[in-house]
Structure 1
Amino acid sequence: MRARLPLLFILTTLMIDAMGIGLVIPVMPQLIRDIEGGTLAQAALWGGIFSTAYAVMQFLCGPLLGTLSDRFGRRPVLLITLTIMALDYVVIAVAMNVWVLLFGRIIGGIAASTRSVATAFIADISSPEEKAARFGLVGAAFGLGFVLGPLMGGLLAELGTRAPFWAAAALATANMLLGVMVLPETVTDRIRRPFSWKRANPLGALLDLGRKERVGRLTFMFFLYQTAFFVYPAIWAYYAQERFDWGPRTIGLSLGLFGISLAIVQGWLIRYVLAWLGDRKTVLYGILFNAAAFLALAMVSSGTLALILTPLAALGAVVIPALQAMMSRAIPDNAQGGLQGLLTSAGALAMIVSPAVMSQVFWVATAESTAVYLPGAPFLVSMLLMVVCAVVFLGRKRMTPPVTDPPRARP
């Protein structure tokens, strides 16, 4: 049990990161109106600004925190950012100005970039054969956080629009205290890497790690895959209401089923898929399965069938853990934080791009003046992106053996 506590702490940290995204969804519209007044449409405009700011800070700061952890260690970076996250929730809970809310979401986006550090910790403690299954636990923790975040926000909102943020602050504080007690340091002098501003930004990290062509290709594929997969949070509520006339309760149920199924697939089922197919075939299976699922959702006309397909669609969610394991094995031990920071940035960029693209496609395909009425058109876009992912994956070069940079004396 003592050996498992650090992993439990890491997975809880990742879950809290994901909850930070979903927690605000049920309460933010009313909180903005309580503070700023105005209409629901004006609150939605501010909500869009908050979401974009949160994702942009994750894009910018993922490599920074990952590179800092390569230099100073995973433990101090994780504990400091968790402390900042707890304080940030307190700031939002007492905010009396919309600009303070914006500041809170900016700081929250920075603190939630700890996914890169937490994933690097898992890479540090895992053998090459364990990495894909352990990265699956990362996805499971995130999937669970996406389910619990809106659920927690909606239930605690009954006590007031600020209650969810006080609860989240308490949860982050408790997890930080657990980390103080159980989290070891995994960055030793053998793999410690000097800090470099060149590697601490998304473009610099891509150029640095892109020298290994396979990693560059797979990073691009990672971005395309995430852009396609984010069609669910980006468009599902609008698609389900337009196509099947579902209300909020059914939409919430379907998303909850999807999140739970995602956690089961990435936390448990992926171990058996990897043992059967191996990393490469697992990635190809996931791409093909996702392409078929997106096509089915684009064309389905029965709400009952769509509800059945929703959790089944999660069976394709084995790509990211297998892909992360392949990339982690291609990178030296002293660059794991930088790699996970780059992937955090790629995922954050996908969170920015996907809603913008998918919402525009949905609008064009459902407008009164449209030539072809097709609410499922965004899923066709995601299917095409899966085809591109397959082309990129199959066209990569063979992996070159990683070489750990020699350690340097600390200043």
Structure 2
Amino acid sequence: IGFSFMAGPILASALVDNYQQAVRASAAVTIVSSTLILLLPTPLEKGERSRRTQQEKLSSGLLDFVSLPVLRTRGAQVLMTMRLLMALAFHMFVPVWQVSIKERFDFGPRDHALFMGIVGFTYALSQGFVAERLVRWTANKPSTLLLGCIFVLGGARPIALWTSSVYVVYALYVPMVISLGVLNTAISTASTHLADKAQLGGFFGVMESVENVAGMFGPALGGLLSRTAGEKGTLAAVVGCYGAAFALVSLYFTKHITNRTKSS
């Protein structure tokens, strides 16, 4: 993912000159990606009986997916709420951020490419090297690591939004992106301690669904707040989400996740 964030904007700035070309290039890449589905292996069993069996398994699988026992645990609910708050904060911030950097620094396509390239490289670095080591070093008290990451994400956004120096923006986004990568890795690690192997795939799917729901409503909510209360209103909501996540980790993470992991 980090490599895609890094390479995509850089390639676009070098190969694309206008919006129409960007749309065509995106459509072409999407079509190529879709054709890879044809390379997936086909089931060995054939016939009507096999299809009925597969349909029954699919129906049962969907019911099992939404009724996973792990979803009824307090630890899983804490993680899902954390993921929702973090994703909602991110997606609410995006509309205000895009307008702000255009107004303050007159960001053009090449500026966006450079910015996203740095973000992608930093995220890849975080996921590949930093996150695993930090999660391992703080295994006995992961809540400290989570609180630190949330503090960086929530505390740096107002400065990045209000500073008049583009260099300060770049300097802030490096630790912010690293914190995001570490936080995602820590949440994934905690998820593996809550769910057994039979439920882990479904639990990860639910976590992704929660994040996607925030992606559906977050930008619209951020734009609405910006229109009615200005960028300060959106920023207050974003920081509020981080504050709620900070309080959630402080109050419940150790009790419902860390202690359960140690006892098991």
Consecutive unaligned residues in structure 2, runs of 5 or more = 42-56
**Equivalent residue for 1:301, pick from 164, 184, 187:** 164
**Equivalent residue for 2:118, pick from 252, 257, 265:** 257
2:130 match: 269
More relative contact order, 1 or 2 (CA 8 Å, 6+ apart): 2
Contact 2:87/2:214 (CA < 8 Å) preserved in 1? yes
Q: Which whole-Å deviations, capped at 9, do the CAs of 1:59-83 have from their partners, x for residues lacking one?
A: xxxxxxxxxxxxxxxxxxxxxxxxx
In structure 2, C-alpha distance between the alignment counterparts of 1:171 and 1:297, rounded to whole Å: 35
In structure 2, C-alpha distance between the alignment counterparts of 1:251 and 1:377, rounded to whole Å: 25
Describe the shift of the 1:324–1:164 C-alpha distance in structure 2 as closer, same or farther (beyond 3 A).
same
**Equivalent residue for 2:60, pick from 192, 195, 198:** 195
2:54 match: none
**Equivalent residue for 2:234, pick from 372, 378, 389:** 378
Report deviation, 1:315: 2.6
2:144 match: 281
**Equivalent residue for 2:28, pick from 146, 154, 166:** 166
Describe the shift of the 1:148–1:308 C-alpha distance in structure 2 as closer, same or farther (beyond 3 A).
same
2:6 match: 147
Report deviation, 1:143: 2.8
Amino acid at match of 2:24: R
Q: Identity of aligned pairs, percent?
A: 20
Contact 1:147/1:256 (CA < 8 Å) preserved in 2? yes
Describe the shift of the 1:250–1:307 C-alpha distance in structure 2 as closer, same or farther (beyond 3 A).
same
Q: Which whole-Å deviations, capped at 9, do the CAs of 1:230-255 have from their partners, x for residues lacking one?
A: 34544322121133333343233223
**1 or 2, which has the higher helix percentage?**
2
Aligned length: 236
Q: Which whole-Å deviations, capped at 9, do the CAs of 1:128-156 have from their partners, x for residues lacking one?
A: xxxxxxxxxxxxxx233233344455655
**Equivalent residue for 1:290, pick from 127, 131, 153:** 153
In structure 1, C-alpha distance between the alignment counterparts of 2:158 and 2:218, rounded to whole Å: 17
TM-score, with structure 2 as normaliser: 0.74
Aligned pairs for 1:197-346 (under 5 A) are 197-200=62-65, 204-205=66-67, 208-231=69-92, 233-278=94-139, 279-317=142-180, 318-346=182-210
Contact 2:75/2:256 (CA < 8 Å) preserved in 1? yes
Report deviation, 1:193: 11
Structure 1 stretch displaced more, 345-354 or 237-246: 237-246
1:354 match: 218
Contact 1:237/1:251 (CA < 8 Å) preserved in 2? no
SS in 2 for 1:230: helix
Report deviation, 1:304: 3.1
Describe the shift of the 1:345–1:300 C-alpha distance in structure 2 as closer, same or farther (beyond 3 A).
same
1:398 match: 256
Q: Which whole-Å deviations, capped at 9, do the CAs of 1:105-130 have from their partners, x for residues lacking one?
A: xxxxxxxxxxxxxxxxxxxxxxxxxx
Amino acid at match of 1:354: G
SS in 2 for 1:210: helix
In structure 1, C-alpha distance between the alignment counterparts of 2:10 and 2:64, rounded to whole Å: 37
Aligned pairs for 1:94-105 (under 5 A) are none
In structure 2, C-alpha distance between the alignment counterparts of 1:298 and 1:149, rounded to whole Å: 24
Amino acid at match of 2:242: M
Report deviation, 1:323: 1.0
Amino acid at match of 2:28: W
| Cα RMSD (Å) | 3.2
Consecutive unaligned residues in structure 1, runs of 5 or more = 1-141, 181-191, 367-374, 402-411
Contact 2:5/2:116 (CA < 8 Å) preserved in 1? no
Contact 1:228/1:354 (CA < 8 Å) preserved in 2? yes
In structure 2, C-alpha distance between the alignment counterparts of 1:285 and 1:357, rounded to whole Å: 27
Describe the shift of the 1:149–1:304 C-alpha distance in structure 2 as closer, same or farther (beyond 3 A).
closer
Structure 1 stretch displaced more, 245-254 or 381-390: 245-254
Contact 2:158/2:235 (CA < 8 Å) preserved in 1? yes
In structure 1, C-alpha distance between the alignment counterparts of 2:78 and 2:195, rounded to whole Å: 14
In structure 2, C-alpha distance between the alignment counterparts of 1:195 and 1:148, rounded to whole Å: 41
Contact 1:218/1:393 (CA < 8 Å) preserved in 2? no
Contact 2:152/2:175 (CA < 8 Å) preserved in 1? no
Report deviation, 1:257: 1.6
In structure 1, C-alpha distance between the alignment counterparts of 2:106 and 2:126, rounded to whole Å: 29
Contact 2:153/2:176 (CA < 8 Å) preserved in 1? yes
